[in-house]
Amino acid sequence: MSSGDHPRTFEMARDVIRSAHNNGSAEDLMLFYDRWAPNYEQDVDLIEYRAPRLVAAQVAAHFGGERQAAMVLDVACGTGMAAKMMKREGFQRFVGVDGSERMLQHARQSGLYQDLQMAVLGEQPIPVPSGAFDVVTISGGLSSSHVPAKAIRELLRAAKRGGLVCMSTRANRDNVAYKVALEGEMKKMEDEGLWRRVEVTRVSRFERGVSDHEGGHVPGCVYLFQKL
């Protein structure tokens, strides 16, 4: 059913998002996103999902180059919501990567991307050259059911020296262990001299909670690093 057949509700969006955590394999998860693609943007709007906007704002606040010329890699790009937010900030050149063909179809229809590639972060290398991008973003996907924490090294590989890598994740109770592992990997990469932390922003209203024990909004974090 597409979003045009019947109006979507928060409860419908909540139930779909809950079911994402029941997919055991990467293949199952991508099939889930294939099915969700027609309703994806409406559903994440219903849960007030702010990650694409937050990531775009964080990059825009710290990027010192020529935005129109900058090459941006949008990982786990979905239907293209992050690129839409980045375009509002003056960026125009986008390459998108996602594991769902149906999501990529919607991203293709947006007309925002110069290139789109299919790959599952954490399962496969990102199919782009090393050191090619001024900005690398992942506004969704960093959670225990989606992407292993160590996969952020692939984001860094794609960035130019001096380029920015911006990531976000939830900071709610269900994601605590993953967030600890993610921040541990970030710190390890800092200690290895691979990148430096530019800013970490904690937000109280990342999105509306969808689990039974979460009322109101859940918090999140946006991380910005620069490749050394």
Supply the CATH number for residue 108's domain. 3.40.50.150
What is the count of structural domains for the chain? 1
Q: What sign does the dihedral 41-92-198-161 (CA atoms) show?
A: positive
Is 27 within the bounds of a domain? no
Residue 212 banded pLDDT, cuts 50, 70, 90: low
Alpha helices in the chain (DSSP H): 10-20, 26-36, 40-46, 51-62, 81-88, 101-110, 152-158, 176-191
Q: What is the pLDDT of residue 3?
A: 43
Is 9 within the bounds of a domain? no
**pLDDT score of 35 more than 50:** yes
* pLDDT, tens digit (0-9, with 9 covering 90-100), for 103-147: 999 999 999 999 999 999 988 899 999 999 999 999 988 987 788
CA-CA-CA-CA torsion for 227, 65, 59, 87, nearest 10 degrees? -130
Is 10 within the bounds of a domain? no
**Gap between the Cα atoms of 39 and 146, Å rounded:** 19
Strand partners, 138: 167
% of the chain with per-residue pLDDT over 70: 93
Q: What is the pLDDT of residue 11?
A: 84
CA dist 164 → 51, 109, 128, 151 (Å): 17, 27, 16, 16
Rounded to an integer, the average pLDDT of 201-222 is: 83
Residue 55: give the domain boundaries.
48-227
% of the chain with per-residue pLDDT over 90: 67
Is 127 within the bounds of a domain? yes
Spatial CA neighbour of 199 closest among 58, 29, 93 = 58
Is 21 within the bounds of a domain? no
Is 19 within the bounds of a domain? no
Is 34 within the bounds of a domain? no
Is 30 within the bounds of a domain? no
